[in-house]
Copies of this chain bind each other. A is one copy, B any other.
Amino acid sequence: MKTPLLTYITTYYHNHGRIPRYREMLAATAYKSLSTIKIKTDELVEAGFVERDDTGKLSPGRRLRALPILGSVEAGFPSAAEEELIDTMTLDEFLIQKKEATYILKISGESMTDAGIMPGDMALVERGREAKNGDIVIAEVDRKYTIKYFIKEGGKVYLKAGNKKYKDIYPEEELSIAAVVVSIIRKY
């Protein structure tokens, strides 16, 4: 029933999207005094899990929202001593630029496998963005949607599959770009 303070704050923030109040922490942890809660939260501020804004109120710190970025695969995992230097990143701020225009689509079909886009992958797509040459787009062709490379060469525009077994598509009349793929997400 009684939870460590940091654990409680972390899970509460994940479930409710906000930092719990002092008295909520009081009820959920083993502590029985608000002054203890204050002391403990001050320590969590020091550690970077939470922050205090200009009015002194608690807001989530980076360590509550972000994931640590290590280097490349070769570089591997840093030692505990180096841990402090690690950069962090939230998935949202990394992947999403225009939130209102961003949607998630599930990939089916193998027309982009050579581009590393597999059936079952999730595509983050942004509507209304102008497609540039080489972009991967969701296009409407013959009233059906498809994912392809958008190619624009010397005034000529066509769709190119990322799989040699598929043919390029040359639009007969209009070519309707529904959205531009900004990110691919695969979950194992």
CA distance in complex: A49, B67 (Å): 25
Q: How far is the CA of A54 from the CA of B108 in the complex (A)?
A: 42
- Report the interface size for chain A: residues with CB under 8 A from the other chain: 66
0/1 per residue, A119-138, Cβ < 8 Å to B? 00101100100000001101
* Neighbouring B residues of A67 by C-beta, 8 Å: 96, 99, 102-104, 124
Within 8 A of B (CB), among A144-183: 144-147, 178-179, 181-183
| Cβ contact of A116, chosen from B91, B93, B109, B121, cutoff 8 A | B121
Let me know if A85 is at the binding interface, CB within 8 A: no
CA of A14 to CA of B73, assembled, Å: 30
Contacting residues, chain B, for A178 (C-beta < 8 A): 76-77
52-94 of chain A: CB within 8 A of chain B: 53, 57, 59-60, 64-65, 67-77, 89-94
Q: Which of A15-23, A25-33, A35-43 contacts B (4 or more CB under 8 A)?
A: A15-23
Q: Which residues of B contact A181 (CB under 8 A)?
A: 188
Q: Is A2 an interface residue when CB atoms closer than 8 A count as contact? A: no
10 A-B pairs with the lowest CB-CB distances in the bound complex, closest first = A76-B145, A17-B60, A184-B186, A116-B118, A116-B116, A91-B91, A72-B108, A69-B104, A72-B106, A183-B187
A-B contact pairs, 30 of them (CB 8 A): A10-B99, A14-B99, A16-B53, A17-B59, A17-B60, A17-B64, A18-B59, A67-B96, A67-B104, A67-B124, A71-B105, A72-B107, A73-B107, A74-B108, A74-B145, A74-B146, A76-B144, A76-B178, A77-B103, A77-B127, A91-B95, A91-B96, A92-B92, A94-B187, A95-B185, A95-B187, A116-B186, A181-B188, A182-B187, A184-B186
